[in-house]
Amino acid sequence: MEQKQISARERNTKLFNRRLLVSTVIVLILIAVLVLRLCYLQIIQHSTFTTLSNKNQVTLLPLPPNRGVIYDRNGIVIAENLPVFSLELIPDKVKDLNQTITQLKTIIDISPEDIEQFNKQVKQHRRFDSVPLKIKLTDDEISRFYVNQYQFPGVFIKAQLMRYYPLGPSLVDVVGYVGRINERELGQINQANYAATNFIGKLGIEAKYEEQLHGKVGYQEVETDASGRIVRVLKRINPTPGNNLHLSVDSRLQIAAKKALGDIYGAVVAIQPKTGEILAMASNPSYDPNMFVKGMSTEEYNAIRNAPGKPLYNRSLRGQYPFGSTIKPFLALEALNSGTIDTKFKIRDPGYFSLPGSSHVYRDWRKGGHGTVNVSRAVTISCDTFFYTIGVKMGISHISAILNDFGFGELTGVDLVEELPGLVPTPKWKKARRGQSWYPGDTVISAIGQGYMLTTPLQLANGTAILSMRGHGYKPHFLVKWQDDQGKYHDNPPIPLMPVKVDPEYWDVVIDAMHGVVMPGGTAAAFGQTPYKVAGKTGTAQVFSTHGRGAGKNLPKHLRDNTLFIAFAPMDDPQIAVAVIVENSHDAKFVARKVFDAYFNEEEKDEAKSSDSVQSAN
């Protein structure tokens, strides 16, 4: 029995030990399986999984370059970048958009317009892109949001630089503005370079020098976690900031010009004749470019677009006006230079002009005429009959030629994007566009700047500048120099225009006559006495024909004549050439006077200052 028990025990032990051995073998095999599996994953498949792992975590994030700052000629900032905090949402990460917005409303002031704008943008973006819900959070809102942020997954505050125009409406005509990139622009830009950019130059300098201002996008190789949060930055290729631009515009003069215009609709352009640098280019009424940066609702936009005087319409570049009598100095030059007349040529002005064999009467602005008039006096007193006469004498081809020489009828090539060319008509043009022959009468009225011919205020200022330089003008432009990302300055040298070749004697005749304009007896005697010597020319263009002469002061305002005034000073060493066009107003010369005063007063002040400092240094 005991024996049996012992043997049973031994058998049990043997059986157990056998099974234990089998188990050990199984354990070893299974460990081998794991090791082989690990070898497969970590050696054979290693590179595959490394790629997958890198893909998992490394994301290339574009970094927006800082847009170049724009300065005026005195170094005053006219376009800069300010940090703005906006509340952004990633639709994909927000469970219930409406509910989230409702909740956000309790801590942040969100207007229905914000929501409308947001909903519009949500549709335009990919689900995993962040979309701004409210731009420009206040400090209070920022702190309130951060306290509650845990309640809002997928909602965050984004700091970004936003374009800001400190001088607002004063310089919008020059600088333009940036706005959100739209679909059409998206097709035109290098999308890689704009990967992190939301804004693009829409108008003015901002649009013209978009490439320079924008800079080059940078990249950040970041490690992100599974939820897309940035954990750390692996590599950073800094963006190249855009170039800083220094413009010729003098914001003090620009503001003075705007102020001079007051509530008159019109435009003032002032050019430095020796360089072609534009000192001021103001169109009135105006608008605040910052609104376009912020973004507007359709209603807001329509309100601006349809506001009285159409503020969005840049009159200085796109306003095409009849020359009126401002055409006369140019025609006088041509008549003299072409030998059509000489300086002694005189007419007796009966107060009207008729073409030979025609009974149609072209009236002078002064009933009864000006008596005996030579070319010099004709300019000074703006004698229509004299110019009818010489216009017909030299013919439309001479008129067109001289206007073209002074840059009319074609784009000046100013460094802005929206310029219009004006119009210098020719018989060919009339045939092509109107299907009519050129009538002698067309030439007659062309000679006093009426009819088909149109000029923009910019062209008129440019022509005046060329005249002031006695034919040696420069292409009108704004960019004086730019500063690259290394801080180095590059000049944008003035480009001389094709000189207008006129005998020096004739320049003197015409310019002296223009000086007479602002002197007693001249048409702009009211311009008044100035410490600087001015040469100018008035102009009036009818908006509504009164069938006869008359200023039409009794007409409703919008039917009253437009007046123009061109002038430069000092006459012998021109520093500034100005063209003013005011709609339905007679104040062009007064506006011009204020601009000149502003310019020369500032100059004087500056000189006074520098002489003071010289004295104190002594």
Partner 1 sequence: MKLNPAILFKAPISQSERMMQMKRTLSERIHVDFFLLFALLALTALGLIVLYSASNGDTMLVLRQVARLAIAFVVMIIVAQISPEKMRLWIPWIYLLGVILLVAVLVMGDIGKGAQRWLDLGVIRFQPSEIMKLAIPIFMAWYFADKELPPSVLDLIICAAIIAVPVLLTAKQPDLGTALMLAGTGAWVLFLAGMRWRYILLLAFLAAAAMPALWFMMHGYQRQRVLTFLNPESDPLGAGYHIIQSKIAIGSGGVFGKGWLNGTQSHLNFLPEHATDFIFAVLGEELGLVGAIVLLALVLVIMLRGLYISAQAQDTFTRLVAGSLILTFFLSVFINIGMVTGLLPVVGVPLPLFSYGGTSMVTLMASFGVLMSIHTHRRLVAK
Residues annotated catalytic, as ranges: 325
Number of residues that bind partner 1 (CB under 8 A): 43
- Least distance CB 131 / partner 1 (angstroms): 25
Nearer to partner 1, 49 or 146 (CB): 49
Pairing of strands 244-247, 70-71: parallel
Q: Residue 571: which of 610, 537, 521 has the closest Cα?
A: 537
Shortest Å distance, C-beta 91 to partner 1: 19
Find the DSSP H helices in 408-503: 427-434, 440-446, 457-468
46 is an interface residue for partner 1 by CB under 8 A: yes
Tokens of 338: 């072409």
Chain positions 100 to 159 lying near partner 1, rule: CB under 8 A, are: none
Residues in CB range of 413: below 8 A, 6 or more apart: 475, 476
Cα distance between residue 220 and residue 223, in whole Å: 10
Calculated CA dihedral for residues 584, 590, 594, 596, nearest 10 degrees: 110
Is 24 a binding residue for partner 1 by CB under 8 A? The answer is yes
10 vs 116 by CB, closer to partner 1: 10
Q: Which amino acid is at 14?
A: K
- Interaction between residue 235 and partner 1 (CB under 8 A): no
CB of 232 to partner 1, least distance (A): 9
Of the two residues 57 and 340, which places its CB atom closer to partner 1 in the complex? 57
For partner 1, the binding residues in 52-111 under the rule CB under 8 A are 52-54, 56-57
CB-based burial label for 372 (10 Å; 0-12, 13-18, 19+): exposed
Contact residue for partner 1 among 1, 2, 3, 23 (CB under 8 A): 23
Least distance CB 235 / partner 1 (angstroms) = 15
- Candidates 211, 225, 503, 606; binder of partner 1 (CB under 8 A) is 225
Residue 48 Cβ vs partner 1, minimum distance, rounded to whole Å: 7
Stretch binding partner 1 (CB under 8 A), from 25-33, 74-82, 138-146, 487-495: 25-33
Written as six digits, the tokens of 328 are 């006369």
Here the tokens at position 301 are 């936009």
Give the closest residue to 219 by CA, choosing from 242, 193, 199, 243: 193
> From the CB of 22, what's the least distance to partner 1, in Å?
8
Among residues 1, 2, 43, 617, the one that binds partner 1 under rule CB under 8 A: 43
- Using the minimum distance from each CB to partner 1, give the nearer residue, 42 or 298: 42
Residue 543: enclosing H or E segment and its boundaries? none
| C-beta closer to partner 1: residue 7 or 343 | 7
* SS3 category, 544: coil
Nearer to partner 1, 30 or 303 (CB): 30
Q: If you search the block for the tokens 């310029």, which residue do you land on?
A: 419
User: Which of these ranges, 36-44, 275-283, 436-444, 474-482, lies near partner 1 under the rule CB under 8 A?
Assistant: 36-44
Nearer to partner 1, 53 or 613 (CB): 53
CB of residue 93 to partner 1, shortest distance in Å: 15
**CA dist., res. 362 & res. 440, Å (int):** 12
Token pair for residue 28?
A: 């070893």
Is the CB of 223 or the CB of 602 nearer to partner 1?
223
d(CA 446, CA 327) in angstroms, rounded, equals 9
Q: Looking only at residues 328 through 357 of this chain, which bind partner 1 when binding is defined by CB under 8 A?
A: none
Residue 42 within binding range of partner 1, rule CB under 8 A: yes
Q: 524-531: long-range contacts (C-beta < 8 A, 24 or more apart)?
A: 524/565, 524/589, 526/589, 526/590, 527/567, 527/589, 527/590, 527/592, 527/593, 528/593, 530/569, 530/593, 530/596, 530/597, 530/600, 531/600
Asked if residue 233 binds partner 1 (CB under 8 A), the reply is: no
34 near partner 1, rule: CB under 8 A: yes
Under rule CB under 8 A, residue 307 binds partner 1: no
CA–CA dist 431, 585 (Å, integer)? 34
Considering only 31-39, 81-89, 561-569, 585-593, which stretch makes contact with partner 1 by CB under 8 A?
Answer: 31-39
List the interface residues with partner 1, window 183-222 (CB under 8 A): none
Binder of partner 1 out of 185, 223, 485, 602 (CB under 8 A): 223
What's the burial of 518, exposed, middle or buried (CB within 10 Å: 0-12/13-18/19+)? buried
Check residue 360 for interaction with partner 1 (CB under 8 A).
Answer: no
Asked whether the beta carbons of 449 and 365 are under 8 A apart, the reply is no
**Which position among 1, 3, 39, 191 is part of the footprint of partner 1 (CB under 8 A)?**
39
Compute CA distances 531 → 146, 150, 252, 580, whole Å.
Answer: 63, 70, 20, 20
Least distance in Å: CB of 126 to partner 1?
A: 21
Instruction: Indicate the residue among 57 and 119 with the shorter CB distance to partner 1.
Output: 57
Q: Does 8 help bind partner 1 (rule: CB under 8 A)?
A: yes
Candidate segments 5-13, 451-459, 519-527, 610-618, binder of partner 1 by CB under 8 A = 5-13
Query: Closest distance between partner 1 and the C-beta of residue 92, in Å?
Result: 15
- CA distance to 156, 191, 226, per residue, from 219 (Å): 22, 14, 20
Interface stretch with partner 1, choices 223-231, 281-289, 329-337, 353-361 (CB under 8 A): 223-231
Question: Residue 43 or residue 614: which is nearer to partner 1 going by CB?
Answer: 43
The residues, any chain, with a CB within 8 Å of residue 24's CB and separated by 6 or more, are: none
Among 106, 188, 227, 486, binds partner 1 (CB under 8 A): 227
Q: Which of 226, 432 has the CB closer to partner 1?
A: 226
CA angle 471, 476, 477 (to 5 degrees): 155
With beta carbons less than 8 A apart as the criterion, state whether 184 and 315 touch: no
* Residues lying near partner 1 in the complex (CB under 8 A): 8-9, 11-13, 15-20, 22-24, 27-28, 30-31, 33-35, 37-39, 41-43, 45-46, 48-50, 52-54, 56-57, 223-227, 231
